[in-house]
Structure 1
Amino acid sequence: MAKSGSNLTAVLDGANDLRMIDAPIPEPKYGEVQLKLLNCGICGTDVHIWKHGGFGGMPLTDRIVMGHESSSVITKVGEGVTHLKVGDRVATEPGGPCFQCKKCKAGRYNLCPVMQVIIPKYCGNLTRYAIHGADLCFKLPDNISDEEGAIIEPLAVTVYACKRANIGMGDTVLICGSGSIGLLCLVTVLARGATTVLVTDIADEKLKVAKQAGATYTLNVRGMSPKEAAAAIEDVLGGPADVSMECTGVPSCVSTAIYATTRGGNVTMVGMGDLVQEVPLGTAAMKEVDIRGILRYCHDDFSTAVSLVASGKVNVKPLITHRFPLEKTLEALQTTASGVAVKVMVRCAEN
């Protein structure tokens, strides 16, 4: 175990091989800042990488520092950085787009073909100290807590997902899955003006949190086939959903969303599942249901996420159900993997 005051860091050497080490404290280069990590959230991607040594068909090729949902305070500023200063609290956008390709120059750098997703240039927030690109740091207002700041990153995912889904005022929305991303989708679609939102899951405890977070209806679909679940959803809503946001990645849930969405509506794939799935594409085609994917987010989505929390239009505090110190990162991952938690938060700072 690393000594107190050192750079305690959670590194993954391979599937199920998490180690706590004392890493060097990095120094910022041109355009970078040094960060003292405050909080870091654990998500399903972290769990998948930890368990399987990769994600989305991309295996790890080297040791990585875990964690990418964080809040930090700037401790040093590199040359060329003028918009940030020591003492600023920030949320950080992980990733490494080239900023040179056609997609990057069109403002869709989330689709950069050389984007480093699993091992980005700036990643690894389950640590005491790290460096980050200054242009990928977002100042946190004083009324956003350290824990709320660590949820800005996944909230940016749902902000972008709602843009892709074209959620509008008065929409009826189905959300499949009441994990942390499903619940963040819930609060985001409500902020965009959706008036009726039904959340499904197979865990009553998570559906209870969804109800507390503002869901109009919740439905436990355990044991139902996709068509049975869709029929139950339409019965509750009084008809099909205008838009469905699939947040599990499970093929049966994707199928349910297709069946339960109105003609001409869309199913937006927020959750990441197997790269090859068997789903009723013919039904989607006959109903003219668009199936839309999402990948991460862009700069404006991060800024919007900060504004939503700062303004009080989105409350992310109820989603945090479990907390651990950095020394217990493995326990934090295990708790997330168990399914009992909504959002697990790790405190990286020593005080």
Structure 2
Amino acid sequence: MTNTMQAIQIKGPGEAALIETPMPTPGAGEVLVRVEAVNTCPQWDLHILGNEPMFPGSTIEYPYPIGQPGHEMAGVVAATGPGVEGFKTGIKVAAWRDPGKVRQGCYAQYVPFEEAHLIVLPDELEPRECASLELAMCVQASFDQLNGFNAVRDCRVIVCGLGPAGLIAAQLAQVHGASDVMALDPLPARRDMAARLGVAKVFAPDDPELLGLLDRGDLWTTGIDCTGLAPALQHLMALCSKYVHVFGVLRDPVQFGLPEYRKGLALIGYDRHTREAAETALSLVADGRLDLKPLATHQLPLADYLEGIDLLRSRQAVKIQFLP
């Protein structure tokens, strides 16, 4: 193992570079992972690179921590720190929880991770197909919430927004026993992806057939918003009768008025990350019931980070998978 490695660092708005940086050493309770694949989290990358905080009221300081905001990662254990149990050199692992920007991120050849935030991959799965396990955990955690309200099984479920989270949610709605699943997105390519993943009803938000549901009062039970956009959420609230889960980070206000009140609509926000949700998501991937591979529509070397972000910005890519 060499003394240095390559990593991405965002230097300022619109500016990122591949840098040479010292090889990290795993501390107590940490695992050093050789990164095999790291997927973009499009909103994080676009916001951080664009000097637009992900959450209203927060700020961005440059240069941004090395390797950040990369956090959807899978790879192979290269070394372990003192006190680590259950992880041996050479085993395949994936990150199931984002440790945040206070430490090195995963846009790097190697990354140290707390062992509690890693999960061992089964032999039949390769790191490249599991890099987005952290996102799958988040979406599965949302379904755990909805299942607590009996809002999925035998219910009619709409997924709004077919970015990475929406494409996972559309699959999980089927896995969790929805009686019918509909997916909405303005981009034909995203709708085609959802159809290939088994969603029978896929529409543009302004499709006359979809708008006819409102005219007929044909409401669906549950909606899952994966856009974070107030107009999309407002539209989804009109289409649903009982529950709307807000998965996307909402930045603008929506109106909850008399129509929503009268039909007893409940808005549900995102709760928390759980290892149980990560383990469920991983088992679904291993069983072939959840496919994360189509999310990474492009593969690029780390050196082409800015090119990859341009593909996200133009919406030509769903996710970029960087191969360090």
- TM-score between the two structures when normalised by the length of structure 2: 0.90
Instruction: Give the Cα–Cα distance (whole angstroms) in 2 for the partners of residues 279 and 309 of structure 1.
Output: 37
Contact 1:186 1:215 in 2 (8 A): yes
Contact 2:181 2:200 in 1 (8 A): yes
Residues 120 and 300 of structure 1: CA distance in aligned 2, closer, same or farther (over 3 Å): farther
Cα deviation code 1:200-255 (max 9, x no counterpart): 11111110111111112011125x7xxx896345579x821111000111111110
Residue 217 of structure 1 pairs with residue 201 of structure 2: yes
Cα shift at 1:6? 4.4
Name which of 265, 268, 272 aligns with 1:292: 268
Contact 2:233 2:254 in 1 (8 A): no
Name which of 337, 340, 343 aligns with 2:313: 337
Instruction: Give the Cα–Cα distance (whole angstroms) in 2 for the partners of residues 281 and 333 of structure 1.
Output: 38
Identity %: 23
Q: Which amino acid aligns with 1:186?
A: A
Residues 234 and 120 of structure 1: CA distance in aligned 2, closer, same or farther (over 3 Å): farther
Cα deviation code 1:166-193 (max 9, x no counterpart): 2432221011111111101011111111
Instruction: Give the Cα–Cα distance (whole angstroms) in 2 for the partners of residues 313 and 305 of structure 1.
Output: 9
Question: Please, which moves more after superposition, 11-20 or 150-159?
Answer: 11-20
Residue in structure 2 matched with residue 146 of structure 1 by the alignment: 127
Residue in structure 1 matched with residue 225 of structure 2 by the alignment: 246
Question: Please, which moves more after superposition, 245-254 or 62-71?
Answer: 62-71
Unaligned runs of 5+ in 1: 97-116
**1:1-351 equivalences in 2 (<5 Å):** 6-43=4-41, 44-57=43-56, 58-62=58-62, 63-64=64-65, 65-66=67-68, 67-96=70-99, 117=100, 119-121=101-103, 124-166=105-147, 167-222=151-206, 231-234=211-214, 239-262=218-241, 265-274=242-251, 276-295=252-271, 297-348=273-324
Q: Which amino acid aligns with 1:343?
A: K
> Aligned residues, how many?
315
Residues 258 and 28 of structure 1: CA distance in aligned 2, closer, same or farther (over 3 Å): same
Secondary structure of the corresponding residue to residue 29 of structure 1: coil
Instruction: Give the Cα–Cα distance (whole angstroms) in 2 for the partners of residues 283 and 141 of structure 1.
Output: 48
- TM-score between the two structures when normalised by the length of structure 1: 0.84
Question: Please, which moves more after superposition, 24-33 or 160-169?
Answer: 160-169
Secondary structure of the corresponding residue to residue 277 of structure 2: helix
Contact 1:230 1:259 in 2 (8 A): no
What is the RMSD of the two structures over their aligned residues, measured on CA atoms? 2.2
Cα deviation code 1:105-130 (max 9, x no counterpart): xxxxxxxxxxxx4x144x51110011
Residues 235 and 305 of structure 1: CA distance in aligned 2, closer, same or farther (over 3 Å): farther
Instruction: Give the Cα–Cα distance (whole angstroms) in 1 for the partners of residues 257 and 37 of structure 2.
Output: 41
Secondary structure of the corresponding residue to residue 194 of structure 1: coil
Cα deviation code 1:267-302 (max 9, x no counterpart): 00011131x313344432222111111155211111
Contact 1:230 1:256 in 2 (8 A): no
Instruction: Give the Cα–Cα distance (whole angstroms) in 1 for the partners of residues 282 and 12 of structure 2.
Output: 34
Residues 185 and 68 of structure 1: CA distance in aligned 2, closer, same or farther (over 3 Å): same
